[in-house]
Structure 1
């Protein structure tokens, strides 16, 4: 028989949950108390606008992999300090070197990066937008890199010695002590492993690697974000192994309502994300039981796995505590009707009831600002104007070729296998888009036909 103390450990701890109510300010829809979900700020000033593309994020990741601080100790080189420790044989030499430093720094500020060793020099934006960029760096690091530093760090260094500007920069920086730990979890280890293997593969060609690094980071970041949205909406049915398809167009194609790239593209993602903020708060409610507290970043399916190995009494106690919180705490401060407890309610149903109750209490402004942050990312890197169809998800030729290069790790592969490789990287196309891609590959001389009928077609390695 399960004792009362043990059962109580599986009830929500109201003393912790009371912190969500702030005297004279009402109920606060806090997030990131114990669970981090997505790097999407609700306040517009903190929203990353990606005016410099993905370079600020890439620079932050490169710094972490170089054991530097996520935010540069100094956004600009301290010219006076550097010049004061130099030795110059004339005024002309001094002025020439000063001009050299300024011109090189200006190039990096304009993201004119020609060497891997220059990546850590890339700066973040000024003022509040920096907060959003740091959040993105944290997310990408936790979702795609953390734990693989030993294998990935060497890829971000040049084979030969660093250029003069990099040596000067590093001489003025303070080394970070200890390894970096991101607050964000990795929810899709298979995607993370695929990303690692793709980076290693592309590093065989340093020039191609540098030219396409941002394409790879942007794409895998988008896949991680979109899969998190789609899978979290499935509550306890979250599947970290099987990707839910999101379809893309090629940017020069014309969209249509009957195409899969419309129904299962950005339209699907927008529908799935418009009420997603409820999970940001709900996931920080459902983990507030003493038995769950030692763990961080618990999602619905994690709790389901934990409780599945417990007794029926434990499961029922936990489910009932969710309804107790809704019926006797949340409804008190929000003045809304909440679902009532019934002994036949499953854990998945209880989670869905709680999330819906939270959604009912959320105002429209907060709900709308959250997906706007996702939209800023999508419209910067994948937007295609579809006229009356609205915005569509589309990839350009460079993005496609970068992912095809990752997909072909030998001399060539069958065309049919290429589609499977792209889908393993979250890139799904309908039949019409595939025909466009085949035409492009043929035009670029990457397509090899083994027969006149064209039945046996191979795609040659891009690297």
Structure 2
């Protein structure tokens, strides 16, 4: 039975499938540090405990290089070239792991956010880092990084849950494989890549969270380009754009907290939609009893009716978990903390206010090029309509007006080939 034994009301948590906490003090995130933790997971690395900051690593490099060169006179030049500007982190992709040595960041939130991304990555790991072209100095610095004094293979066995959005997890892994095969592009774009997928996951999870009676699927989510004008007359943007994502995100905390409360979080936690398929008729009484206990514990006023089916029992519990956060309740602050942090950390980078026209989901040119390159992947070029389908499979939709602006932008950049006046004969090339 997938349900936890002896179901009892407990503190709300969405930790298995979402990184945001109901405690505002725990919602501090630094994307550079997240990159460091993610690189550690991707390359299965651990940093030695003796390396507490970049100065410790710098000292090891200084010792090695002054022995290789003619004493210390050259060291200050090397220090200026690689350490003063943190260029040391860009020698090789795996050296981005040193970003976790940032003493100013709060690692708790960063580790939770990394867990979300690592769950998207699944079992993917790089046993052998991609080859990069290094000069003599960079080879020596990289040798220090690879030495047992700095890094070692991690022996930690991480608990991985079944992806809540399997289709998005598959695309994340595919796109990550492509990025890894282009180390320079990877270095330039890994933070943007993780931010982009952090948003796509948040938006698609929000739009799927109430549909637990069936497996999740990609939902329409419309963007505009930052270079185009917005208008309230564009129906798809109004119905399936920024507003729907924000409103749908309000259901994340109650539904994920419900899912978490039904299972033993020390074990692998199932997504709500899969848990539903595992529950049998024998569980109905258990769920009804839990609903009564929860109703009494939270002092809720909605009338409670015993359910006669699994679907009805879960629907009742979903209403109760939502009601506990209503305005004026003792848990309203926790709910608002969750909603605020979700928007600030994961949605804000992709939203933009357009005065009277309202707020929209926006892709700037950098994110658009990143998305275009990973969508085309290992192919040299694809037709425009195929590219748009690749965008949509990742949860990025454009209306006809945006499609026109998209082609104009690609033409200005010079990565479009027109074989004829037909729309099907427009090809888009990668920029790497």
Q: 1:349 aligned to 2:312?
A: yes
Q: 1:243 aligned to 2:207?
A: no
Q: 1:140 aligned to 2:117?
A: yes
Return the match for 2:5 from 9, 13, 23. Answer: 13
Whether the 8 Å CA contact 2:384–2:424 is kept in 1: the answer is: no
Structure-2 residue corresponding to 1:258? 233
Return the match for 2:254 from 258, 278, 300. Answer: 278
- CA distance in 2 between counterparts of 1:70 and 1:426 reads 36
Q: 1:360 aligned to 2:323?
A: yes
- CA distance in 1 between counterparts of 2:267 and 2:69 reads 62
What is the Cα deviation at residue 30 of structure 1? 4.4
Structure-2 residue corresponding to 1:298? 270
Return the match for 1:401 from 369, 373, 376. Answer: 369
- CA distance in 2 between counterparts of 1:340 and 1:212 reads 51
**1:125–1:374: structure 2 CA closer, same or farther, 3 Å change rule?**
farther
What is the Cα deviation at residue 339 of structure 1? 4.7
Whether the 8 Å CA contact 1:10–1:318 is kept in 2: the answer is: no
CA RMSD of the aligned region, Å?
A: 3.3
Q: 1:331 aligned to 2:295?
A: yes
Alignment partner of 1:17: what SS? coil
- CA distance in 1 between counterparts of 2:340 and 2:407 reads 35
- CA distance in 2 between counterparts of 1:448 and 1:98 reads 50
**1:447–1:57: structure 2 CA closer, same or farther, 3 Å change rule?**
same
Q: 1:419 aligned to 2:382?
A: no
Structure-2 residue corresponding to 1:181? 158
The count of aligned residue pairs is: 421
Whether the 8 Å CA contact 1:275–1:367 is kept in 2: the answer is: no
- CA distance in 2 between counterparts of 1:444 and 1:128 reads 38
**1:49–1:138: structure 2 CA closer, same or farther, 3 Å change rule?**
closer
**1:349–1:175: structure 2 CA closer, same or farther, 3 Å change rule?**
same
**1:95–1:380: structure 2 CA closer, same or farther, 3 Å change rule?**
farther
Matches within 5 A, 1:113-124: 113=90, 115-123=92-100
Note the alpha carbon deviations across 1:196-218, whole angstroms, 9 max, x for none. 33233344543233323333222
**1:184–1:371: structure 2 CA closer, same or farther, 3 Å change rule?**
farther
What is the Cα deviation at residue 121 of structure 1? 1.9
Note the alpha carbon deviations across 1:94-145, whole angstroms, 9 max, x for none. 364266347633423x8973532432222365467321111111110112x2
Alignment partner of 1:122: what SS? helix
- CA distance in 2 between counterparts of 1:268 and 1:91 reads 61
Structure-2 residue corresponding to 1:234? 211
- CA distance in 1 between counterparts of 2:85 and 2:388 reads 39
Note the alpha carbon deviations across 1:430-458, whole angstroms, 9 max, x for none. 11111110101111222222224666322
**1:121–1:389: structure 2 CA closer, same or farther, 3 Å change rule?**
same
Whether the 8 Å CA contact 1:60–1:70 is kept in 2: the answer is: no
**TM-score where L is the length of structure 1:** 0.79
**TM-score where L is the length of structure 2:** 0.84
